[in-house]
Chains A and B, each alone.
Chain A
Amino acid sequence: MIAYIVKRLGLALLVALAVSALAFFLIRLSGDVATAIAGEGARQEDLDIIRQTYGLDRPLVVQYLSWLWQTLRGDFGTSIYFKTDVSSLVLAKLPVTLLLGLTSLLFALVISIPLGVLAAVYSNSWIDRLALGVAVVGQALPNFFFALCLVMLFSITLRWLPVSGSSTWLHFVMPTIALGYYVAPAFMRLIRAGMIEVLSADYIRTARAKGLPARTVIFKHALRNAVVPVVALTAVQLGFLLGGSVVIETIFALDGLGYLAYQSITYKDFPVMQVIVLLLSVIYVLLTLASDIANAWLDPRIRVA
């Protein structure tokens, strides 16, 4: 198990490094940093001065390496638009996004696991069809549209929840539902498919032959085996959640990393963009690592691989 974790950790480091390079070069491709700093229509001399000051006249590879070196030392540079330290800016917003990601994931799992299990146990019944309907709607509806529907219902018609902001937990309710419902269908379908397969396995018959009650058979013997691919999917879905949080945070003016990403793109704030992309990627890589380890724990056969 230890050897397995070390191996995975090494791989994760390599992936993070590759992502940092991609993030750097892709963002450079999207526009000129000097123009962004100086503003549209700046004079050529000003641009040259800026290029020299920020070291933008050096070859791109050298720029990347120096940026990487600084980043590794914890120096994330200064925001062009906010004129403050990028690290303090990002660190201030990170908790909001992590909290939203976590609550949305929990919300997604809380509705998709019972629905998926029920749909599998009572497959082809009305429960199965209802669950399928819930999933199809969730998958087909763009999340910004669903978010606006929620605002119409809960904020404007019922006046239960605040429209925007992030000061109280009430502000997180609608973003959580909007974002969670966006990723829940994939979980639900996977759990249903997995459970249907597992429930016809020989070892389920063995479990029943032991006289175990139905709930033990379903939740102990079946779900544990059906949930293995779900753990892998969780990492992927968290990526979607982080991506989706850009849209959802912007709609609800939730003061998190997604909203900051939106602002930094609008104002061509390259240092901030770079750090956000890198940070989200590293979080994603770490989550994948965590899911691999969780899978190894759930399915003992993976440990030897």
Chain B
Amino acid sequence: MTDTILDVRGLSVDIATAGGVLHAVRDISLKVERGKTLCVVGESGCGKSMTSLAIMDLLPKGARRSAAALSFAGEDLSRAPGKRFNALRGNRMAMIFQEPMTALNPAYTIGDQLAEPYRLHRGASAAQARDRAVYLLDKVGIASPAERLGQYPHQLSGGLRQRVMIAMALMCEPELLIADEPTTALDVTIQAQILRLLADLQKEFGVAIMLITHDLGVVARIADRVAVMYAGQVVEEGPAAALFSDPRHPYTRGLLDCIPVPGRTARGGRLGAIPGVVPSLVGEVHGCSFRDRCPHARPVCAEDPPAREVDGHRWRCILEKAA
């Protein structure tokens, strides 16, 4: 399939801890189409970030990736050496992070850091890289971009730094941009601006975006497809419209119930909340990991739930229809 830029199958991430092996990501499969947006949602610690780092081969020491297939633009990278990833990262696949305040190197100017991937991957001259940097800083909505090149990260606000990070990620016109909670650390007004910016850039450059977030409001606005992660697994995945209007997994339903909707949520009434906590992922994990918190749990949930699919809408639950 030529229109799939990223096809991940059977991805797992194991982290060695003092208490045993932590199965942070368990056998997940994801697909990102060219020029489209996949949102990965889930609460903290569900393995969203580990998934994105595993795809970029940026896992921290002690974390190990295994995958049946990790196919980028048709090339399987699941057994590719680090050098192959170095050639792709910052070039054809780029990433932006949650913490714009600390993601830029304090010792180098914005211009130097922006130029770096372009010069490395494209062999461009300093002048060419500079022109490209000015062009992109302008594209991400930074005023007087030429003057910004000589500035250091500490002279910029968080919102500006995240715009610089986005410009840096786009230097080599990547086919895939992974954004790991890019707006979490920013003010609400800046969040909206950054998201609009990502959507605009996607339209202009045709870059596929994999957006990691726990904000369902964000997902509703920009996602083409949504993957819901829980305890290291993708429990439901499908087109955004179908998933929001007809959630099949009780966890997805629980998440949607947590969002207040003007007009529908009764004034003064309590918002939905999912009782209980995420189970430990250390050691062997069997059965549906949501069963301890699920209102529909029954004995059969102790076994691995069946994978179901209707019209490209996939979920893992004993329930066939929406609960």
Which A residues have a C-beta under 8 Å from some C-beta of B?
201-203, 205-213, 221, 224-225, 298-301
Q: Which stretch, B96-104, B277-285, B312-320, touches the partner chain A?
A: B96-104
The answer to whether B87 touches A202 (Cβ under 8 A) is no
List chain B residues, Cβ under 8 A from A209. Answer: 56, 58, 89-90, 94-95, 97
Evaluate whether A205 and B107 lie within 8 angstroms (CB atoms) in the complex, with A210-B90, A210-B117, A211-B121 already known: no
The answer to whether B105 touches A301 (Cβ under 8 A) is no
Evaluate whether A221 and B105 lie within 8 angstroms (CB atoms) in the complex, with A205-B58, A209-B56 already known: yes
CA distance A202 to B56 in the complex (A): 15
The answer to whether A212 touches B102 (Cβ under 8 A) is no
The residue on B at minimum CB distance from A208 is B58
Q: Please, what's the 1-or-0 string for B47-90, where 1 marks a CB less than 8 Å from any CB in chain A?
A: 00000000010100000000000000000000000000111111
The answer to whether A210 touches B107 (Cβ under 8 A) is no
CA distance A64 to B176 in the complex (A): 74
List chain B residues, Cβ under 8 A from A225. Answer: 105-107
The answer to whether B154 touches A203 (Cβ under 8 A) is no
CA distance A225 to B152 in the complex (A): 14
In angstroms, how far is the closest chain B Cβ from the Cβ of A193?
Answer: 17
The answer to whether B102 touches A211 (Cβ under 8 A) is no
Which B residues have a C-beta under 8 Å from some C-beta of A?
56, 58, 85-91, 94-95, 97, 99, 102-108, 116-117, 120-121, 152, 154, 165, 168
List chain A residues, Cβ under 8 A from B86. Answer: 211-213
CA distance A224 to B105 in the complex (A): 10
Return 18 A-B CB contacts under 8 Å, by A number: A201-B102, A202-B97, A203-B105, A203-B106, A205-B97, A205-B103, A206-B165, A208-B58, A209-B89, A209-B90, A209-B94, A210-B168, A211-B87, A211-B88, A212-B86, A221-B105, A221-B107, A224-B108
The answer to whether A301 touches B104 (Cβ under 8 A) is no
CA distance A219 to B160 in the complex (A): 27
Among A202, A206, A224, residue most surrounded by chain B Cβ atoms (within 10 Å): A206
The residue on A at minimum CB distance from B106 is A301
The residue on B at minimum CB distance from A228 is B107
The residue on A at minimum CB distance from B86 is A211
The listed residue (A201, A211, A301) touching B90 by CB distance below 8 A is: A211
The answer to whether B120 touches A211 (Cβ under 8 A) is yes
CA distance A203 to B85 in the complex (A): 18
The answer to whether A210 touches B116 (Cβ under 8 A) is yes
List chain B residues, Cβ under 8 A from A206. Answer: 97, 103-105, 165
The answer to whether B116 touches A300 (Cβ under 8 A) is no
List chain A residues, Cβ under 8 A from B105. Answer: 203, 206-207, 221, 224-225
